Chains A and B, each alone.
Chain A
């Protein structure tokens, strides 16, 4: 009788465990679809890698001599952040010595955020939106912490062309709110 009781107990436990496991298996179907911010962030993550290419400043076409820039995009913090670093090609990545501006991207709630740590000493905060075709992430300024006496970054656009090619457009506001538009045409080097 005692053996029968133990057997029955074991069978009941197994059945409940199986039922629980099955309900867990169905869980992914109930997970909400990724938000617009998460989709935008996923697009930004596809750009992870090393990129190089020439840049041009619209306000000074006569000074655009094809000097290449190197852009590094790295997914970090268990996928919670993307680090973007900008430097002259073929220089050591040493932000303590050279003016290599750093930008962090992350999702907070329903927004894709960008914080640019500028050589001008301030930190513009922007939020981004993905275009309907899923290829362009455009960031608009929300606020700036730190002094804007020497200007600040105002706007950024990342355009995905293919796995080995993307462009970036950065707008820097000079003192007196005079914009400088820089366009980077970047090809993957790693």
Chain B
């Protein structure tokens, strides 16, 4: 897979975000094993050490656990933990900018709700992300 990486973060961090996205979108479930290092490295054409850095980051953050001799698995409660963190991140980092734009444009609550109702449900896995799931 020829994935375009952005230059703002190291690739291991972007791989970590990809796995986080897969957990939030329900592509990877709690208790599921993470894809093998070999497969991810081959599929995304990255250094296997980079994949391990991404996985280690997920372990350090408490979303993934290592089971001796078996591999690495998404822990129970990982999605709730991630949602909590991502919501706080959105409200703290992104919402002030979004709110400032809403104020600047004079958008009303009903207009925003109407626009939101046209969007697909957040619980539905995004088709693009589903395609990006590495084979395990």
Contact = CB atoms under 8 A, between A and B. Distances in A.
Interface of A: 55, 57, 59-63, 65-67, 69, 86-88, 91, 97-101, 118-121, 150-151, 172, 174-176, 178, 180, 182
Contacts of B53: 151, 172, 174, 180
A62 B48 contact: no
Contact of A99 (B46, B55, B72): B46
B67 interface: yes
B47 A62 contact: no
A174 B56 contact: yes
A55 B49 contact: yes
B10 A119 contact: yes
Interface residues of B, number: 29
B12 interface: yes
A182 B9 CA distance: 22
23 contacts: A55-B49, A60-B55, A61-B68, A62-B69, A65-B37, A67-B38, A67-B48, A69-B48, A87-B47, A98-B46, A99-B11, A99-B46, A100-B47, A119-B10, A119-B12, A120-B12, A151-B53, A172-B49, A174-B53, A174-B56, A174-B57, A180-B56, A182-B52
A60 B59 CA distance: 10
Nearest to B37: A63
Nearest to B71: A62
Contacts of A88: 41, 45-48
Interface in B44-96: 45-50, 52-53, 55-57, 59-60, 66-72
Contacts of B67: 62
A99 B50 contact: yes
B52 A63 contact: yes
Nearest to A182: B49
A87 B50 CA distance: 10
A170 to B, nearest CB: 8
B70 A119 contact: no
B56 A98 contact: no
B6 to A, nearest CB: 12
A62 B68 contact: yes
Contacts of A150: 9-10, 12-13
Contacts of A87: 47
Contacts of A98: 45-47
Given A150-B9, A174-B56, A180-B56, A63 B71 contact: yes
Nearest to B9: A150
Nearest to B50: A99
Interface string B90-110: 000000000000000000000
Given A62-B67, A67-B37, A88-B47, A121 B52 contact: no
Given A67-B48, A120-B10, A174-B56, 14 more contacts: A57-B52, A57-B56, A60-B55, A62-B67, A63-B71, A65-B36, A88-B48, A99-B46, A100-B47, A119-B11, A119-B47, A120-B12, A174-B60, A180-B56
